[in-house]
Amino acid sequence: MATDSTDRDNHLGMIVDIALDDVTLEGALSVPEGAPGIVVFSHGSGSSRHSPRNNFVAEVARRHGLGTLLFDLLTEEEDENYETRFDIDLLTQRLVDVTAWVAEGDETADLTVGYFGSSTGAASALRAAAALGDQVGAIVSRGGRVDLASEQLPDVTAPTLFLVGERDEQVLALNEAAFTKLTCTKELEVVPGAGHLFEERGTLEAVAEHAAEWFAEHLD
């Protein structure tokens, strides 16, 4: 596991270079002592590991004793390409490859993996989980475009939590339809008063607590 710590990201964790077959991605890894599992974040299009929302969720997850890995699914050059941002097949393969990297790491090999996906990142998380089976212990989707994984949903075996804002009516409808296709342990939580970005007072905090509790229960 190649690592390169930098002062600018110490609050996010240790900066790591994730060397895959075709590309090297940069991430921030944090593993509290005694952590039973690690939450791997799959962000939405146009976002990155610096996403303030995902970093807040990661912070709450670490308070619950869980490890976290936030990483950039795309290189800077790839992220500038609009089509690549929405290439769910590519993003899914990157997540699968990073999960293999986690399974081989000195600090992470013994940790149960969970996925936190937001927006289009939720689709890649669900698709990856369907492909990996029992290698994934839990999934949380925040405002996820879960409809983009519609065909793979029946193959998801990991306990799955959908978190959707009450005011995010279009995405809520998509989540409700997708929820019926899941055959695993599942829950759909509608966050009162929340829109798509969970910018309303207290809504992101609610998301983070729901997510952390779900992971703590199912990754232990």
171 occurs within a structural domain? yes
Contact (CB, 8 A) for 165 and 195: yes
Answer yes or no: is 170 within a domain. Answer: yes
Place of tokens 């976290």: 68
- The answer to whether position 130 is within a domain reads yes
pLDDT given for residue 82 in this prediction: 63
CATH number where 95 lies: 3.40.50.1820
In angstroms, the CA 74 to CA 188 distance is: 29
Q: Write down the pLDDT at residue 11.
A: 52
Six-digit token pair at 208?
A: 């983070």
Total domains present in the chain: 1
Determine phi and psi for 135, rounding to 5 degrees: -75, -15
Give me the domain span that covers residue 156: 35-218
What is the predicted pLDDT for the residue at 50?
73
**Helix, strand counts (H, E) of the chain:** 7, 9
In a domain, 58, yes or no: yes
Residue pair 148/117 in contact (Cβ under 8 Å)? The answer is no
Q: Report yes or no on 27 lying in a domain.
A: no
Angle at 45 between CA 185 and CA 14, to 5 degrees: 80
Residue 69 located in a structural domain:
yes
Instruction: Specify the pTM.
Output: 0.91
Do the domain assignments include residue 202?
A: yes
- Structural domain includes residue 6: no
- 109's CB contacts (< 8 A; 6+ apart) are 102, 103
Mean pLDDT by 10 residues, the chain (220 residues): 37 84 92 96 74 92 97 80 78 96 95 96 97 98 96 98 97 98 98 95 97 96
The helix/strand/coil state of 118 is: strand
